[in-house]
Amino acid sequence: MAQQTTSADVVIVGSGVVGSLMAEKLALSGISVVILEGGPRIDRNHVVARFRHEANKSDFMAPYPYNDWAPEPRKNNDYFQQEGPVPYSASYIRGVGGTTWHWAGMAWRYLPNDFQLQSKYGVGRDWPFSYDDLEPFYYEAEVKMGVSGPLNNGSPRNKPFPMEPIARSWAHQRVQERLSQIGYEVTTNTVARNSRNYDGRPACCGNNNCMPICPIDAQYHGGISAQAAERAGAKIITEAVVYKIEHGADDKIQAVHYYTPDKESHRVTGKIFVLAANAIETPKLMLMSTSDKFANGIGNSNDMVGRHLCDHPRTKVSFDVDEEIWPGRGPVSEYSIQSERDGDWRGEEAAFRIDFSNSNPVAGVTSKLISQGVYGKDLIAGIRQQSSVTLGLKNIVEQLSDPNNRVMLGDRRDSLGIPNPKFYFSVDDYTRRGNVRARRVFQEIAEGLGGTNIKFMDENKFSLANHITGTLGMGNDRATTVCNGEGRSHDHENLFLAGTGVLPTVATVNSTLTAVAVGLRTAEFIMEDLA
C-alpha cells in the first residue's frame, strides 16, 4: 500500500452542502483547505439524461452513479443492517456535493422553543445555545443557498428573506382558501429555490422534478456549494474514502487516512479536522478509528458516538379533493401548515408540521388504473380525473432522543473492507401520540376539502424522512453528547463535527438549513483557533 502525504490547515471529510460551505467560508478567510470526498464528481446534465431514460422514476437514487467502494443505501440493497423493532431507512448520495443533489429544497429554520425542549417542556434535550445565537448564521446560510419564503412562519428574523416566496400553484391557492374557512392557515414553504434569477442561477420554471434532480439549478444543491468552495481556493480530492482517524500522544488529531477505489492508502495531515461525511458515515468513521487509548473509537470515550439517532417517523394520508386542483404544476414541495409545531401539550405528545405534496401524480394514478383492468377511453378519462383531484399529506413529526436508537458498525463489509452501518431504531409513545393527533388533523383537513377515498397509512408503519440527526449531538453535558456548542469534540481539541448529526434535536422541520447555519458558526471558532 503506497503512502503519500498531503497537508492543509483544515482538512474536511465530505463535500456535502455543510462541508463545502464551511470550506468556502474558511478558504475565503485565507485558510488553506482540503476536502476529501469519497465519491466521484456528479454532472447535472448527465443525471437529467439518466433520469429521463430510467425505468424506475420513483427511485430518486436510480439516476445517480453507484460505486461499491463508496456504497450508499439503495432500494433493495442491504447496505443498512437492522437490529431494532423499526427498520431504519434513509437515502444519501456519495459524490461531490452529497445528498442535496436530490432534495426538495425545504429550508426551514427551527422555532426558538425547539432549542429549549428540556427546560420548557421537560422532554428531549436542550441545545447549548439559543435561537438568537444562531439567527445571524441562519441568514448567512439563506443568502448562500438562495432561500425564498414568506415572513410569518414562526421563526423570527432580523432581515427579510433573500427572495420573495415562490408563486403559488392553483392547487396551493385552492387548498389555502378552503382550509382557512375551517381555521387552518396554509403557508408557502421556505425553500432554497429561486423565485427570481439569483446568484447566476435562473428562476424556477416548474419542471416539477426537484427530486431527483432540478434540470436548471433553480433549486440550490451541494454541487453548487462544492463549486463555490473550489472557487474560493479549497482543494477537493475526489474518490478519497476516509477510513481512519489518527491521534497523537496529546489526543490531538494528527492525520486522516483515505483509500482510493483500488485501495491505495494516503495520509493527510492538518492543523484542524472537520468531519462532515453525514450523520451516518461520520459516526461510522469515528467508531472504526480505534486506538489503545480510544478503544471505542475517536471522540467516543463516553460511548455517545452514533447514539440518539432521530428522524421524523411520519404518517401519511391521501384522498380525493371534491374539485379539480391539479397537483403537479410548479415545484414538488410548495405549501404546509405550521400551527402544530409548538404548544403547551409538547411535554406530552410530539409536535409536527404538515406537508402537502405537489408531485406530478400521473404515473401512480395510471399504474393503479391499469392494475384494475381499466383500458381505452375509461383509462384516459380516469387518468385525467384522478390526477386532477388526488392530494397527499404527511406530518414532519418530532422524535425525542433515545440513547438506544443508534448507528453502529455492522458485520458486512464493502469492497474496501469497510463495515456497513448497523442500526437499532424504535419509535416511542410520545411520537406515536403525535401521529394519532396528526391523523385527527388529517381527517379534519380531508373533510374541509370534501375528501373521499381517504387512505391513512398503517399506524404501526413509519415513513422516515432522511432528516438524520442526533448521532453527533452537541451539548454542554459532556457525559451525554459528542461535541460542544462550537462543534468541537469533547475528546480532541482540534476535531470538529458538522452536518445534521450535530443537531441534538430533530424538531419539526427538514434539517439541512440548520446544519449549514451551525456549520458556518463552527467555521468561526475554527478561524479563531487558527488566528
Partner 1 sequence: MNSNHSKSGVTRRGFLAASLAAGSLTLIPHALASTTPQSVADSDAYRAFIAVSQQITANTALKPAMAERLYLALVRHDDSFAERIKQLDSFITAEAIAVSELQARVEAEAPEVKDLPPAIATGWFEGLVGSGKDVELIAFSEALMYVAVADVLKPPSYSLGEYGIWQNKPAKA
Ligand X SMILES: Cc1cc2nc3c(=O)[nH]c(=O)nc-3n(C[C@H](O)[C@H](O)[C@H](O)COP(=O)(O)OP(=O)(O)OC[C@H]3O[C@@H](n4cnc5c(N)ncnc54)[C@H](O)[C@@H]3O)c2cc1C
CB of 419 to partner 1, least distance (A): 27
Which amino acid is present at 354? I
CB of 512 to ligand SF4, least distance (A): 15
| No. of helices (H) and no. of strands (E), the chain | 11, 16
Residues paired with 106 in a beta bridge: 191
The verdict on 451 binding ligand X (CB under 6 A) reads: no
Q: Which of 48, 204, 400, 502 binds ligand SF4 (CB under 6 A)?
A: 204
Q: Answer yes or no: are the C-beta atoms of 264 and 1 closer than 8 Å.
A: yes
Q: Which partner from the list ligand X, ligand SF4, partner 1, none does 133 bind, CB cut-off 5 to 8 Å by kind?
A: none
Residue 223 burial (CB < 10 Å; 0-12/13-18/19+)?
A: buried
CB of 373 to partner 1, least distance (A): 3
Which amino acid is present at 463? S
Which amino acid is present at 395? N
Q: How far is CA 6 from CA 9, 41, 265, 428, 526, in A?
A: 11, 20, 12, 46, 20
Distance CA 102, CA 309 (A): 22
Q: Which of 109, 114, 5, 67 is nearest to 507 (CA)?
A: 114
Residue count at the site for ligand SF4 (CB under 6 A)? 13
**Residue whose CB is less far from ligand SF4, 198 or 259:** 198
Within positions 321 to 360, which residues make up the interface with ligand SF4, using CB under 6 A? Answer: 331
Q: Which of 23, 134, 190 is nearest to 504 (CA)?
A: 134
Q: Which partner from the list partner 1, ligand X, ligand SF4, none does 48 bind, CB cut-off 5 to 8 Å by kind?
A: partner 1
Q: Which partner from the list ligand X, ligand SF4, partner 1, none does 323 bind, CB cut-off 5 to 8 Å by kind?
A: partner 1
Q: Which of 286, 208, 261, 249 is nearest to 414 (CA)?
A: 261
C-alpha cell at 43: 454532472
Cα–chain-centroid distance for residue 87? 18
Long-range contacts of 379-388 (CB under 8 A, 24+ apart): 386/320, 386/361, 387/326, 387/327, 387/328, 387/361, 387/362, 388/324, 388/325, 388/326
The verdict on 208 binding partner 1 (CB under 8 A) reads: yes
**Residue whose CB is less far from ligand SF4, 186 or 218:** 218
The verdict on 159 binding partner 1 (CB under 8 A) reads: no
Within positions 166 to 185, which residues make up the interface with partner 1, using CB under 8 A? Answer: 167-170, 173
Q: Which of 36, 446, 483, 523 binds ligand X (CB under 6 A)?
A: 36
Distance CA 19, CA 329 (A): 33
Q: Which of 71, 222, 421, 504 binds ligand X (CB under 6 A)?
A: 222
The full DSSP string for 439-496 is: HHHHHHHHHHTT-EEEEEPPTT--B--S--BSTT-B-S-TTT-SB-TTSBBSS-TTEE
Q: Which of 207, 260, 443, 463 binds ligand SF4 (CB under 6 A)?
A: 207
> Is 161 strand, coil or helix?
coil
Residues 214, 217, 218: CA angle, nearest 5 degrees:
90
467 among known catalytic residues: yes
The verdict on 80 binding ligand X (CB under 6 A) reads: no
Selecting among 247, 467, 490, 492, the annotated active-site residue is 467
Q: Which of 169, 466, 471, 494 binds ligand X (CB under 6 A)?
A: 466
Q: Segment near ligand X (CB under 6 A), from 32-40, 200-208, 346-354, 360-368?
A: 32-40
Distance CA 273, CA 527 (A): 12
CB of 290 to partner 1, least distance (A): 39
Q: Which partner from the list ligand X, partner 1, ligand SF4, none does 438 bind, CB cut-off 5 to 8 Å by kind?
A: none
Q: Which of 311, 270, 466 is nearest to 398 (CA)?
A: 311
The verdict on 149 binding ligand SF4 (CB under 6 A) reads: no
Q: Segment near ligand X (CB under 6 A), from 143-151, 196-204, 444-452, 509-517?
A: 509-517
The verdict on 451 binding ligand SF4 (CB under 6 A) reads: no
The verdict on 224 binding ligand SF4 (CB under 6 A) reads: no
Q: Which residues are catalytic?
A: 467
Q: Which residues bind ligand SF4 (CB under 6 A)?
A: 193, 204-210, 214, 216, 218-219, 331
Q: Which residues bind partner 1 (CB under 8 A)?
A: 48, 51-57, 167-170, 173, 195-196, 203-209, 213, 215-216, 323-326, 328-330, 359-360, 362-363, 365-367, 370-371, 373, 375-381, 383-384, 387-388
Q: Which residues bind ligand X (CB under 6 A)?
A: 13-19, 36-39, 60, 91-92, 94-95, 98-100, 102-106, 211, 222, 241-242, 276-278, 281, 285, 466, 499-500, 510-513, 515
